[in-house]
Amino acid sequence: MMGLCALCLKEELLVASHLIPAFVYRWLKETGATGFLRGATKVNLRVQDGEKRNLLCMQCEGIFNNYETNFANMIFYPYVNEELSDAGIGTGKIGYFIYADWLLRFVISIHWRLIVTHNTLPDKHTTPKLLTCLNNMREPWRKFLLKETNHTGDCESHIIFLRNLAAGQGTLPSNINDNINFYLLRAVDGTTISSRNKIGLYSKVGPIAFITTIRPNKFVNAADTRIRMKGKIKTGQIIKNQLIARFVFITRPNEAFSKAKYSEKQLKVIDNSYRANPDKAKKSMTIRAAEADLILKYKKGKYSEPKD
């Protein structure tokens, strides 16, 4: 269909663009138990692909594809295939990643799409003033993605590498979600992150999450996770900021699964899929994440590395 491309602002033939890159969904299907996808908040809907919108022209889609290819090849696949085991446990094989401007442009491309498509759901803390701050990032980010500028405006972006919590040491809070490892390792997500005087954007592609702070421009305050135009980023991170830690590990997983309840029909569909290919299901990260969640549940908050 013909329309105004949201990035170059030209009247062009628009193509169906993924809001979250397609390679993420391919990986989820390849490493899943059934070969299908289910959203964290729409568990009874089985789909083959992620959400798409007629948003970009072919040329601008190619710009985004370049950022996505670099991220997939330089960070995503090495992290999920080498640094993480099949159970999502860190192996220590990759201590850090070296990156260039494509990483920041990749993260901003996702968060820009969330704003442009109104695909975020502001929570009760999102005042009209904060929402205005959010929407004001459209234009500076658009220019940044087109490489008309080399700055993202008055904001910061961060990357958080996630892994199986059942392999750690210590205790977890009592209000942590029963499906926390499934959320950390398998979920795709995108929403606002806010408090009464703060707002930013949060997205997640499997076991890697991103946060871009908007107002104030700095509220993560973590050098280990900060993305700049180039540098290196550690895979072993310590999240000291309580707002971020609480959102990623407690608030958002609880929100995502608050309405998630399988129907009897879908439970039978899932069971039939497992029985059709039991070897694939047993080895999948889906099952390994579920096993890790059982460990945390039965230990009532205490966790240790799963036994073979």
Task: State pLDDT tens for residues 193-243.
Answer: 887 788 899 999 999 999 999 987 666 666 689 999 999 999 998 888 888
Least confident span in 59-63, 236-240, 259-263: 259-263
At residue 39 the predicted structure's pLDDT band, cuts being 50, 70 and 90, is low
At residue 304 the predicted structure's pLDDT band, cuts being 50, 70 and 90, is very low
Backbone angles phi, psi at 174, to 5 degrees: -65, -25
Q: What is the pTM of this model?
A: 0.86
pLDDT value at 280 more than 70: no
- Strands 231-234 and 96-99, by their bridges, are antiparallel
Token code pair at residue 60 = 């601008």
What's the whole-number average pLDDT of the chain?
83
Backbone angles phi, psi at 281, to 5 degrees: -60, -45
